[in-house]
């Protein structure tokens, strides 16, 4: 990790989940799993964050929030979808209000499957994100801003899902 020029700051947002992956993500920051050994610092401010950890699926209510947090993060930035709900909608996929995984809202760099995702897998995802972050930083340094912007640009807003008619 000696190539890292600064400590990577993470921000965590829980979308529409059962809180299982949420709890495992927070466990990564405890002394037992100790993600801080990689220099990781947890922040509540997107303007200070380099890596966006998202648990849970997206729905009509949280999709704009996820997009806003992402938009407020400075370049370069990386996104890690944690748990199968964040990867694809998971067990909530068929729910009337679920739009799918996090990539329906923002570009995702690393997918960490699992239900719940294990802390070891989450830390592995964060370490992969560190490498991606460094490559993006290098792209910025060498002036490939357009390439980075097209990769990190927001996908179009999905059509708002409509509530299924209640069966009588």
Strands 51-55 and 9-14 turn out to be parallel
Residue 85 in the binding site for ligand SF4 (CB under 6 A) = yes
Residue 62 in the binding site for ligand SF4 (CB under 6 A) = no
Residue 99 in the binding site for ligand SF4 (CB under 6 A) = no
Shortest reach from residue 15's CB to ligand SF4, in Å: 9
Q: Which range of residues in 15-23, 30-38, 68-76, 136-144 is near ligand SF4 by CB under 6 A?
A: 15-23
Tell me, residue by residue from 31 to 60, as one string, x for binding to ligand SF4 by CB under 6 A and - for no binding. ------------------------xx----
Burial 17-31 (b: 16+ CB within 10 A, else e): bbebbbebbbebbee
Task: Give the ranges where the chain is alpha helix by DSSP (H).
Answer: 20-28, 63-72, 84-88, 119-141, 145-152
Helix pair 119-141, 20-28: axis angle to 10 deg: 70
Strand partners, 42: 10
Residue 27 in the binding site for ligand SF4 (CB under 6 A) = no
Residue labelled with tokens 């239900």:
115
Cβ nearer to ligand SF4, comparing 56 with 76 = 56
Q: Which of 9, 11, 12, 21 binds ligand SF4 (CB under 6 A)?
A: 21
> Which 116-155 residues touch ligand SF4, going by CB under 6 A?
116
Helix pair 119-141, 145-152: axis angle to 10 deg: 150
Closest of 37, 29, 32 to residue 12, by C-alpha? 29
Residue 8 in the binding site for ligand SF4 (CB under 6 A) = no
Tell me the residue nearest to ligand SF4 as measured from the CB: 20
Residues that bind ligand SF4 (CB under 6 A): 17-18, 20-21, 55-56, 83-85, 90-91, 115-116
């Amino acid at each position: 990790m000696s190539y890292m020029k600064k400590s990577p700051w993470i921000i965590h947002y829980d979308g529409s989940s059962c809180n299982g992956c949420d709890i495992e993500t927070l466990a990564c920051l405890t002394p037992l799993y100790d993600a801080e050994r990689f220099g990781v610092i947890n922040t509540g401010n997107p303007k200070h964050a380099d890596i966006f950890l998202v648990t849970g699926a997206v729905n009509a209510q949280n999709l704009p929030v996820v997009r806003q947090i992402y938009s407020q993060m400075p370049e370069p930035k990386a996104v890690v979808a944690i748990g199968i709900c964040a990867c694809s909608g998971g067990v909530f996929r068929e729910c009337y209000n679920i739009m799918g995984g996090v990539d329906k809202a923002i570009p995702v760099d690393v997918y960490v499957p699992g239900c719940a995702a294990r802390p070891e897998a989450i830390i592995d995802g964060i370490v992969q994100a560190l490498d991606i972050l460094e490559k993006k930083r290098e792209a910025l340094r060498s002036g490939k801003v357009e390439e980075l912007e097209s990769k990190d640009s927001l996908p179009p807003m999905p059509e708002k899902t409509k509530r299924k008619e209640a069966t009588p």
